Structure 1
Amino acid sequence: MGTRLMELVERFGGRLEGDPQIEVTRIAPLDRAGATDISFLSDSRLRAAAAHSRAAALILSPLDEPDVAAAYDGARIVTNNPYAYFARTAQYLCGSGAAPAPGIHPSAVVHASARVDPTACIGAHVTVEAGAVIGAGAMIDAGCYIGPDASVGERTHFFANVTFHARCVIGARGIVHSGAVIGGDGFGFAVDGGIYIKIPQTGRVVIGDDVDIGSNTAIDRGALDDTVIEDGVKLDNLIQIGHNCRIGAHTAMAGCVGVAGSANIGSHCTFGGAAMINGHIDIADNVHVTAGTLVPNSIAAPGRYTGFYPIAPNAEWERSAALVRNLATMREKIKVLERGMKALGGEQAARAG
């Protein structure tokens, strides 16, 4: 079923230029959109492609709209943030189809003391342990495990084969992708005479509302206190969050980021792929760490931080590495030269006097 442009504007705002009764069924790229598609322009460098698109309608900014409108015959939704408008439209169009019927699949194993809202959907071979709570409209896909006394908020969606351990909590409208493990033991050991002694991990993982967690991401439970993921956090695939970390609201991390235990990260931060965060440090709000950067110490001021050496041809990189290794020696030589020049300057001044 299609959605009329008028419905999108009534729901998400924006200024509509063109026929409000036009129906669109999906979002498509500019170069592949057809007569029932809506597309978007968020990069002004693609104005020419937008102007020649066959999409039924375009989402674009006030800055781009005049140039595109000169050659484009379709309808236009003009908004200050086309990319965000596209995201909301895509959510709406994807969610307008038939949702799975609520209920518990016959092969699921649900403990008698668990509380599953009648509007939730529990898929095949799901296990829900004693005391667990599944909220209204939640979707737990096939093969998931919900541990004892765990709590899943309303309209949260676990894709297939998510593991959600005992007493962990996630709020409303969360998305957890396949293979994620929430609440596994943190990496905590005491050493006695060269022998590692395991420290029981008795805390929880507490996750707020509107959190997205990617495939095969692991969030460890706290050792004594909780690991906390605040509202709106977005975690990509293959991320490791150590025990007792706190990730501030609306922080986003790209794939393969690693956060060691007890790191305290602020709100509205971003971390590029494969960034590594040391444990027991504090990172302020609005810090942006680039890909591959190692953060060994606390960051107190907002801003953009980079800590990797750029790629170069191997021979050039080896020469640079050799220079870096010799910087301390070069520094001492420069100090000696500076002292010599200062002494020579003093002698010349004395003769002149």
Structure 2
Amino acid sequence: MALFVLKELSERIGAELIGDPQLSITGIATLQSASPSDISFLANPKYQKYLSNTNAGAVILSPKVADAFEGNRLICGDPYLAYAALTALFAEPYGGQEHCHPSAVVSDGAEIASTACVMANAVVEAGAVIGEGAVVGAGSVVGRRSIVGVNTCLAANVSVYHDVKIGENCIIHSGAVIGGDGFGFAPSGNGWVKIHQLGGVRIGNRVEIGANTTVDRGALDDTVLGDGVILDNMVQIGHSAELGENTAMAACSGVSGSTKVGANCTIAGGVGIAGHITIVDGVHITAMSMITKSILSPGSYSSGTPFNDTKSWRKNAVRFNQLDKISKRLSLLETQHKMTDAD
């Protein structure tokens, strides 16, 4: 169990401490569920109502609400960011105790750093390189000539195909597949002819990839994820796509092949992005949108229709199908009106 005193935590996040500097803290919890040995935080004003009854040993607060709580306080400009920083102190480590578990299968041609950890039933193939402090989780596979960078963690049952380069301080969660074939087939008179995917995957530093997410290898050019990219669970990145630095994608979203998404973009859940288009830096796409052409100016973009009660939605759906006829009738009326004015 992690144990810190409040003074240590205040120094870690650069916060002003009001209260007992030697108070022992063993965890982080919500205002509602915290015990006297927990630290909590208030980032959303709607939760301020819980301050008066919380059992938390200390609370992280912004200066605006510092006086709303009389107990031990850590005062800082961004309580949510401070909370995020403190979670690293209490997280369960990924690595095991052994350098290479006896059941791991490591090729003689692989290079495993002395501080790396290869866990039970993992496979590291010839030419692969596992960096210092890296973890290859139980049952994971690192293919031929692939690189896992310094302090990068592959959780259990991650599949990294051949010729994949993963940077430093990355986290790849269970079930992720990095470097599988993209969806490439050419039609013929006798069915589909497979286009073998000859590119690789290049992943930058500080990238996090969620459970059961897939990043396809490039058809010819590599698929690329820039530094700081974060992908939620069940995200699909198509072959030869590129994601710029610090772009984030929520669950069940997907980018089709050869599309380039810029830096600092946010793509909400369920978004679909067509292939061979470009999205510039600083774009936000709202949930369940379908993007079929390039976005060349930063900003927020949406598609689709909001939900409604079923009866109203059905009426509106009928009207959507009538829009083309209405547009043509309106154009005709405008033309007739102009001709009347001319007379």
State the TM bucket, normalised to the shorter chain: over 0.9
Give the counterpart of 2:76 among 60, 76, 79: 79
Q: Which residue of 2 aligns with 1:237?
A: 233
Q: Is the alpha carbon distance of 1:19 and 1:321 closer, same or farther for their aligned partners in structure 2, counting shifts above 3 Å?
A: same
Give the counterpart of 1:188 among 184, 188, 204: 184
Mapped pair 1:48 → 2:49: yes
Q: Which residue of 2 aligns with 1:301?
A: 297
Is the contact made by 1:102 and 1:119 (CA closer than 8 Å) also made in structure 2? no
Q: How many residues align?
A: 342
Q: Deviations over 1:57-76 (max 9, x none)?
A: 1111111212x23xx32x11
How far off is 1:332 after superposition? 2.4
Q: Is the alpha carbon distance of 1:296 and 1:114 closer, same or farther for their aligned partners in structure 2, counting shifts above 3 Å?
A: same
CA distance in 1, matches of 2:200, 2:18: 51
How far off is 1:294 after superposition? 0.2
Greater Cα offset, 146-155 or 1-10 = 1-10
How far off is 1:98 after superposition? 10
How far off is 1:173 after superposition? 1.0
Query: 5 Å matches for 1:56-95?
Result: 56-66=57-67, 68-69=68-69, 72-73=70-71, 75-94=72-91
Is the contact made by 2:94 and 2:135 (CA closer than 8 Å) also made in structure 1? no
Query: 5 Å matches for 1:267-346?
Result: 267-345=263-341
Q: Is the alpha carbon distance of 1:206 and 1:99 closer, same or farther for their aligned partners in structure 2, counting shifts above 3 Å?
A: closer
Is the contact made by 2:95 and 2:117 (CA closer than 8 Å) also made in structure 1? no
Greater Cα offset, 186-195 or 50-59 = 186-195
Q: Which residue of 1 aligns with 2:169?
A: 173
How far off is 1:281 after superposition? 0.5
Q: Deviations over 1:271-290 (max 9, x none)?
A: 11110000100001110001
Q: Tell me, what secondary structure is at the counterpart of 1:196?
A: strand
Is the contact made by 1:107 and 1:125 (CA closer than 8 Å) also made in structure 2? yes
How far off is 1:191 after superposition? 2.3
How far off is 1:255 after superposition? 0.5
Cα RMSD (Å): 1.6
Mapped pair 1:33 → 2:47: no
Q: Which residue of 1 aligns with 2:194?
A: 198
- Bigger Rg, which one: 1
CA distance in 2, matches of 1:166, 1:15: 49
How far off is 1:331 after superposition? 2.1
Percent of aligned positions with the same letter in both sequences? 43
Q: Is the alpha carbon distance of 1:98 and 1:145 closer, same or farther for their aligned partners in structure 2, counting shifts above 3 Å?
A: closer
How far off is 1:229 after superposition? 0.5
How far off is 1:343 after superposition? 4.5
The letter for the 1-side match of 2:131 is G
TM-score (norm 1): 0.93
Is the contact made by 1:102 and 1:118 (CA closer than 8 Å) also made in structure 2? no
Is the contact made by 2:34 and 2:55 (CA closer than 8 Å) also made in structure 1? yes
Q: Which residue of 2 aligns with 1:163?
A: 159
How far off is 1:269 after superposition? 0.5
Greater Cα offset, 287-296 or 329-338 = 329-338
The letter for the 2-side match of 1:34 is S
CA distance in 2, matches of 1:241, 1:43: 33
Is the contact made by 1:30 and 1:50 (CA closer than 8 Å) also made in structure 2? yes
The letter for the 2-side match of 1:222 is G
Give the counterpart of 1:118 among 106, 114, 129: 114
Gaps of 5+ in 1: 348-353
TM-score (norm 2): 0.96
How far off is 1:248 after superposition? 0.6
How far off is 1:333 after superposition? 2.1
Gaps of 5+ in 2: none
Query: 5 Å matches for 1:144-159?
Result: 144-159=140-155
How far off is 1:345 after superposition? 4.7
Greater Cα offset, 195-204 or 172-181 = 195-204
Greater Cα offset, 241-250 or 183-192 = 183-192
Q: Tell me, what secondary structure is at the counterpart of 1:42?
A: coil
Q: Which residue of 2 aligns with 1:23?
A: 24
CA distance in 1, matches of 2:44, 2:271: 27
Q: Is the alpha carbon distance of 1:162 and 1:9 closer, same or farther for their aligned partners in structure 2, counting shifts above 3 Å?
A: same
Greater Cα offset, 48-57 or 227-236 = 48-57
CA distance in 2, matches of 1:223, 1:309: 35
Q: Which residue of 1 aligns with 2:15?
A: 14
How far off is 1:337 after superposition? 2.8
CA distance in 1, matches of 2:266, 2:182: 24
The letter for the 2-side match of 1:319 is K
